[in-house]
Copies of this chain bind each other. A is one copy, B any other.
Amino acid sequence: MAASVPTRTIGRLSLYRRLLGNLIADGVEHVYSHQLATMGGVTAAQVRRDMMSVGYSGSPKRGYEVTALAGSIGNFLDASHSEPVALVGVGNLGRAIMAYFAGRRPRLTITAAFDSDPYKLNRVILGCRCHALSEAGAVIGQLGIMTAIVTVPASAAQDVADQLVRAGIRGILNFAPIRLRVRPGVYVEDIDMTMSLEKVAYFARQNAETRSIPEAAVI
């Protein structure tokens, strides 16, 4: 059953595909599981297990065929057709994400944006029409959108998520720094940039302090 593939496996498959894309660009035709493992920061055994999920096996002698493997992962991960994505919250971050994804993954395209600012309504921003959130049900239903990106402030995010789920959304990429409560059958992935930067700054400081201990003191 496809739904039983763990989320971490899906994440790694997405990573492998990008690594394979780099190899294709470099003209590389074959790659061993241990090479892909080193590039991806995982074990070779993990790579081989993951490739079994997509039903691809390499030759022990020559490794995986790079182009064929990238194709197999694509067939596994992607919809058979180009898939529309909604974005809610066309502020600084929302615009950046629209610009970032524009044309990056042709199979996943942000095709509808939503914002509460009346000034933005019905304008085309970065190639994408901006609607009022009250239209979410109609627009999302009409375009058959199942995936949404939430880039509204924390205070608005739960209400937005509720409206999106009612409108038919089944997966949310959430940039708002709160945990969204959704019913079973809706997948939420969080990206919390503030938390990540605070973590990095904390450990950078720890690392700098550790280094600054005189060697004599360690002995």
Q: Which residues in A have some Cβ–Cβ distance to B below 8 Å?
A: 2-3, 7, 10-11, 14-15, 18-19, 22, 39-41, 77, 79, 83, 85, 92-93, 95-97, 99-101, 104-105, 108, 146-147, 149, 154-155, 169-173, 177-179, 185-189, 191-211
Each complex incorporates copies of this chain amounting to 2
A191 and B97 CA atoms in complex are apart in Å by 13
Residues of B within 8 A of A202 (CB): 10, 77, 171
Main SS at interface, chain A: helix
**A200–B171 contact, CB under 8 A?**
yes
Residues of B within 8 A of A105 (CB): 194, 197-198
**B15–A201 contact, CB under 8 A?**
no
**B187–A147 contact, CB under 8 A?**
no
Nearest-CB residue, chain B, relative to A79 = B205
Residues of B within 8 A of A14 (CB): 192, 194-195, 198-199
**B93–A195 contact, CB under 8 A?**
no
21 A-B pairs (CB sep. < 8 Å): A2-B206, A3-B207, A14-B194, A22-B154, A22-B178, A39-B179, A83-B201, A96-B99, A101-B193, A101-B194, A105-B197, A146-B201, A146-B204, A171-B204, A172-B200, A187-B200, A187-B204, A187-B207, A189-B199, A191-B191, A191-B193
